[in-house]
Chains A and B, each alone.
Chain A
Amino acid sequence: MKILLSQSLMAYLSEPWPWYVSGGLIAIIMVLLLFSGKNFGVSATMRAGCSALGAGKINDFFHFDWKKAQGWNLLFIVGALIGGWIASTLLNDPEPLALGSRTAEHIKSLGLSLPKESKEIASGFLPAEFSKPEFVFSFKGILLMVLGGFFVGFGTRYAGGCTSGHAISGLSDLQPASLIAVIGFFIGGIAMTYFLLPLFYKQILFPLINELQNSFPK
């Protein structure tokens, strides 16, 4: 009986959680952090990371006591990492992620694989290409990851926060600045999703590959 119960509990936990449970948990995390005298905002760890790597010597923006101010937040990201590991091992859901048909079409048109096609790792949170060195270290992969990562790091500090700091903490406190930032997140996200990525893939990259292939004698 006990085993049965714990098995069904594990099965339940392994399924994707409904949005209201997930949203509720995020709110609880934020409130717990407030009561510990902290603020929920993950991107501040990036500044702390730069500081920890010695950037404080070069620039005073990174010259602060990162251990005291952000030590707990670095633990938070270690927790996020361990959580990811637990979720992918103990609570792994073998079902591929269900995806809307329009999004599926869109992703296919970009030449990336759908969750179903990437069984080798977790249940496919990222297109399988992101785990293949030949993609990651290709021009396309490098551009997507390095430029994308750079934008995230640069934009988040420029805006003074990311999804957790602005969309959740900031909007919860009805901060007008956070609303502007969230509007910005969507301007950037929509521009990239609808125009820039398709443009890049279809107009620049594919013709370039074709041209290269044609220029070599077969």
Chain B
Amino acid sequence: MTKAEVISWYRIQEMFLFENFHMYGVIGTAVFLGLISVQLIKRFKAKDIDGNEIKFEPKVFSIPRYLFGGTIFGLGWAMTGACPGPMYTLVGHGYWSMLIVIAAALFGTFVYGIIRKKLPH
């Protein structure tokens, strides 16, 4: 993740300012290859190492849940420049302040768990 520079706060800013193709290239390549792989897995009913067929659970469709949730995540992504994976990689780099972000993210997840029944899904 470091070498892909997807952990960079600067690259995230560039992505949202539409100045650099890099992030789109990374995500686009991953999705393009992922798409082919998923199609092949489905076509050949591939099995995982435990011998179970690999299944894809369709996500229950809803607009408010994904739109509101996604937007809130986007706000945080642009502020901290880190999504959940890169947060840990940045800690590995010695950016100790990311621990505060991780703690806050855990708290955010916890608050969601508490009030989720009151939110539109």
Contacts and interface: CB of A to CB of B under 8 A. Distances in A.
Contacts of A18: 25
Contacts of A23: 4, 25-30, 32-33
Contacts, number: 427
Interface residues of B, number: 100
A53 interface: yes
Chain A, interface SS category: helix
Given A103-B14, A155-B69, A162-B83, A187 B74 contact: yes
Contact of B76 (A42, A88, A150, A176): A150
A31 to B, nearest CB: 5
A205 interface: no
Given A148-B101, A188-B72, A84 B88 contact: yes
A130 B97 contact: yes
A184 B84 contact: no
Interface stretch (A2-10, A44-52, A207-215): A44-52
Interface of A: 13, 16-28, 30-31, 34-37, 42-43, 45-47, 49-50, 53, 55, 58-59, 61-62, 77-78, 80-88, 91, 97, 99-100, 102-103, 106-107, 114-115, 121-122, 124-127, 130-131, 136, 141, 144-160, 162-164, 166-178, 180-194, 196-197
